[in-house]
């Protein structure tokens, strides 16, 4: 029997996650006897060596290798298209922003790595959200601490020293003490909260168990504190040998000091600039001028203009003794620090668990602090049911079902009230903070000048402060405009129209980043309640993705990107297409755009959102229930976009109307309307008749 089996890949292509089942091929020959011997038939003897089994096995192995290579290439292609999509969505900037809320260097690094992980399951996302919510509750109670005081790099180095059986440094030992004390403080805060109200234990889950189960070696903490000072230096009392060696160093240094003072007093008559210095740990005399040749000593350096360095001959024996005493100190310190290493090795497994858990808590705390800082809402994330009944996930645990309701009970596939683009919020906050700082700096500068007696004109001062304060007021009033994104459960494709710079692309990115944030365990920057499906991957074709190396035009680059999205998206994917069908002949572009969107609606992703200027795409809703229209609102009186999205309403072309209000002659306008064509007029007529 020959059996061939291939593992399923991470990135699926079919309606459910692709399963490549192992197939077995076997053959058997059997004879039945019914009491009568079968007739004897003579066969020519065939040697097994003559049967070409080796070429067959080699061919099967080659086919298996080819299949595996194809699988690897396809997985790499899928990963590339996903990473390209995240890049155009500026997910890297959001990851950097979230990571900045971590308190430790390893926590920042781990936060970025976790957010960039592409193989999260639905259960992973629910667990991450539960962890974030637990830390948010801990912050509200006041039980969470600041991770800034933990030097994870030093603790990691201490653990590596323990594994190598080498002495830790004093700084590494004290960093370990700080980590263990931090974990102990977290346990104390948890116990205090539960003592006050037992319900807090459940509200802090699943972190309550993680924190309460930490094993913290208090004897190790006391042992280190007895041997090492807070600054990382080994205490004199750590060992008798160390104390004796340090006393010997101090005794020799006093004798050297007296010797040098006497030497300088005796030589000051001849040389006026002599000072005591240290060269490689040896006490010497430095002169600003050339030292006379009659002075007995070892000339270490001499140069024109640089002076001379001399080790007096009488100081050589004491310097040698000093070097020996210092070596004894170093050895005694190493012996003490090695004792700490040995003590660590007894609890090394528990130390590593605490270390890993503290970094993990720092990562969770970064997500929670970001969510609180920007006023996010806990998203109700759910796993959609595929049309063919295939549920592409394992059975949910009780903890999961307590947070997530069944998808069939929802009226919406996506419900994001007042959703903000996180990077726009961050940029606005930074500009506002800078403007406020400019006001404070200006006030402080004027106060400083007044105190220094400088003449400052009151009119000029008031004008400067007023101008800066006006800028602050304008920024406070002109914040980013939120989007209300409400997509019904039966909608598969949303077509968004509207003017250029009207906010269409921002709307797409807002939805995409909200989906990625929810999947990654971050609160969504929207008002409650937030309901969002779990998307396996987010694919995006946004911007002019030209490929000069492949000699692709803007249009070709978009088509190539969309083709790859079609190949790799699943029924759990979110697809975003910006200006679909653009970059070519308008009629051909509209026809291609309609065909693409209909393809996505029939057997494509869970949700596709597309922006367009092609009026023909607006009519798809009236022939296919899987489509929905939306438009970016445009204020026709002041001729400016409002950046608000209107649902169920396709956008109308405003170019000719705007031109009319801006004073273009009527003859030109009439000619434009005539050239606009009957077909376009029919499209707008359909829009106008839509209730």
Please spell the DSSP secondary structure of 446-487, one letter per residue.
HHHHHHTT----HHHHHHHHHHHHHHHHHHHHSPPPPEEEEE
The whole-number pLDDT of residue 459 equals: 63
Q: Where are the domains of the chain?
A: 92-217+347-373, 238-334, 424-477, 483-651
The whole-number pLDDT of residue 124 equals: 95
For residue range 70-98, list pLDDT tens digits in order.
777 778 888 889 999 999 999 999 999 99
Q: Where are the beta strands (DSSP E) in 178-293?
A: 274-279, 282-287
Beta carbons of 555 and 591 less than 8 angstroms apart? no
- Which structure tokens are listed for 315? 């100081």
The three-point CA angle 499-504-506 to 5° equals 135
Peptide bond into 381 cis (omega under 30): no
Average of pLDDT values for 190-216?
Answer: 90
Is the pLDDT higher at 10 or at 655? Answer: 655
Where is 429: in which H helix or E strand? helix 422-451
Where is 4: in which H helix or E strand? strand 2-4
Average of pLDDT values for 202-227?
Answer: 93
The whole-number pLDDT of residue 293 equals: 55
Pick the range with the lowest mean pLDDT from 222-226, 496-500, 551-555, 557-561. Answer: 551-555
The whole-number pLDDT of residue 261 equals: 85
- CATH number assigned to the domain covering 483-651: 3.40.50.300
Is the pLDDT higher at 229 or at 276? Answer: 229
Average of pLDDT values for 511-539?
Answer: 95
Domain 92-217+347-373 shares a fold with domain 238-334? yes
For residue range 443-471, list pLDDT tens digits in order.
887 777 777 666 556 666 667 778 887 88
7-16, 37-46, 539-548, 616-625 — most confident range: 616-625
What is the C-alpha to C-alpha distance for residues 319 and 325, in angstroms, rounded to an integer? Answer: 10
Where is 533: in which H helix or E strand? strand 530-533
> Does the pLDDT at position 379 exceed 90?
yes
Beta carbons of 119 and 10 less than 8 angstroms apart? yes
> Does the pLDDT at position 402 exceed 70?
no
Average of pLDDT values for 396-405?
Answer: 36
What is the C-alpha to C-alpha distance for residues 54 and 415, in angstroms, rounded to an integer? Answer: 61
**DSSP assignment string, 71-132:** HHHHHHHHHHHHHHHHHHTTHHHHHHHHHTT-SSHHHHHHHHHHHT-S---HHHHHHHHHHH
Backbone angles phi, psi at 38, to 5 degrees: -70, 155
> Does the pLDDT at position 395 exceed 70?
no
Average of pLDDT values for 10-34?
Answer: 35
The whole-number pLDDT of residue 397 equals: 34
The whole-number pLDDT of residue 18 equals: 32
> Does the pLDDT at position 234 exceed 90?
yes
What is the C-alpha to C-alpha distance for residues 590 and 61, in angstroms, rounded to an integer? Answer: 48
Average of pLDDT values for 555-580?
Answer: 88
Cβ atoms within 10 Å, residue 201 = 15
Q: What is the overall mean pLDDT for the chain?
A: 80
pLDDT band at residue 638, thresholds of 50, 70 and 90?
A: confident
For residue range 285-317, list pLDDT tens digits in order.
887 666 555 567 676 665 555 567 878 888 889
Backbone angles phi, psi at 83, to 5 degrees: -65, -40
> Does the pLDDT at position 394 exceed 50?
no
pLDDT band at residue 211, thresholds of 50, 70 and 90?
A: very high
CATH of 92-217+347-373, one of 1.10.1420, 1.20.1250, 1.10.357, 1.25.40: 1.10.1420
**Domain with residues 238-334, CATH architecture:** Orthogonal Bundle (1.10)
Is the pLDDT higher at 381 or at 384? Answer: 381
């Amino acid at each position: 029997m020959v059996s061939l089996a291939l593992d399923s890949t991470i990135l699926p292509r079919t309606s459910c996650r692709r399963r490549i089942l192992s197939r077995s091929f076997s053959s058997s020959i059997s004879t039945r006897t019914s009491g009568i011997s079968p007739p004897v038939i003579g066969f020519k003897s065939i040697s097994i060596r003559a049967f070409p089994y080796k070429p067959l096995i080699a061919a099967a192995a080659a086919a298996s290798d080819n299949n595996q290579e194809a699988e690897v290439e396809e997985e790499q292609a899928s990963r590339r298209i996903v990473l390209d999509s995240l890049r155009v969505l500026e997910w890297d900037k959001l990851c950097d922003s979230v990571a900045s809320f971590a308190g430790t260097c390893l926590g920042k690094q781990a936060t970025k790595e976790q957010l960039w992980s592409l193989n999260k399951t639905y259960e992973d996302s629910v667990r991450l959200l539960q962890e974030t919510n637990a830390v948010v509750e801990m912050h509200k109670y006041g039980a969470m601490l600041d991770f800034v005081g933990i030097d994870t790099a030093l603790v990691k180095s201490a653990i590596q020293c323990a594994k190598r059986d080498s002495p830790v440094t004093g700084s590494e030992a004290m960093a370990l003490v700080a980590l263990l004390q931090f974990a102990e403080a977290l346990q104390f805060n948890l116990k205090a909260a539960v003592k006050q109200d037992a319900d807090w234990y459940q509200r802090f889950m699943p972190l309550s168990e993680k924190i309460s189960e930490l094993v913290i070696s208090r004897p190790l903490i006391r042992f280190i504190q007895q041997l090492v000072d807070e600054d990382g230096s080994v205490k004199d009392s750590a060992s008798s040998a160390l104390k004796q060696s340090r006393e010997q160093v101090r005794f020799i240094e006093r004798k050297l000091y007296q010797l040098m003072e006497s030497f300088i007093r005796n030589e000051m008559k001849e040389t006026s600039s002599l000072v005591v210095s240290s060269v490689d740990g040896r006490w010497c005399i430095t002169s600003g001028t050339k030292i006379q040749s009659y002075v007995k000593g070892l000339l270490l350096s001499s140069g024109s203009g640089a002076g001379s360095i001399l080790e007096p001959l009488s100081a050589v024996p004491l310097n040698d003794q000093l070097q020996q005493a210092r070596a004894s100190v170093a050895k005694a310190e190493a012996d003490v620090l090695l004792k700490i290493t040995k003590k660590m090795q007894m609890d090394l497994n528990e130390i590593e668990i605490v270390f890993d858990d503290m970094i993990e808590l720092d990562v969770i705390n970064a997500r929670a602090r970001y969510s609180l800082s920007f006023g996010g809402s806990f998203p109700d994330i759910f796993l959609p049911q595929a049309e063919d009944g295939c549920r592409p996930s394992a059975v949910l645990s009780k903890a999961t079902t307590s947070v997530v309701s069944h998808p069939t009970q929802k009226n919406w596939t996506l419900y994001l009230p007042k959703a903000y683009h996180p990077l726009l919020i961050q940029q606005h906050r930074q500009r506002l903070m800078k403007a406020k700082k400019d006001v404070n700096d200006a006030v402080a500068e004027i106060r400083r000048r007044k105190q220094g007696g400088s003449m400052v004109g009151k009119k000029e001062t008031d004008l400067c402060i007023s101008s800066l304060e006006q800028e602050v007021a304008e920024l406070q009033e002109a914040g980013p405009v939120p989007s209300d994104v409400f997509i019904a459960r039966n909608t598969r494709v949303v077509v968004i129209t509207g003017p250029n710079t009207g906010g269409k692309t921002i709307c797409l990115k807002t939805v995409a980043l909200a989906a990625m944030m929810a999947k990654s365990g971050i609160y969504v920057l929207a008002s409650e309640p937030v309901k969002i499906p779990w998307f396996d991957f987010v694919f995006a074709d946004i911007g002019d993705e030209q490929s000069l190396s492949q000699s692709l035009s803007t249009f070709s680059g978009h088509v190539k990107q969309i083709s790859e999205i079609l190949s790799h998206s699943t029924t759990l994917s979110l697809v975003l297409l910006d200006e679909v069908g653009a970059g070519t002949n308008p009629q051909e572009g509209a026809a291609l755009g309609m065909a693409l969107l209909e393809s996505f609606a029939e057997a494509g992703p869970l949700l596709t959102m597309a922006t367009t200027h092609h009026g023909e795409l607006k009519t798809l809703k009236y022939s296919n229930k899987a489509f929905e229209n939306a438009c970016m609102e445009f204020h026709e009186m002041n001729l400016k976009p409002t950046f608000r999205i209107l649902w169920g309403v396709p956008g109308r072309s405003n170019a000719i109307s705007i031109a009319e209000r801006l004073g273009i002659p009527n003859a030109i306008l009439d000619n434009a309307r005539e050239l606009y064509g009957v077909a376009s007029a029919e499209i707008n007529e359909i829009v106008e008749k839509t209730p």
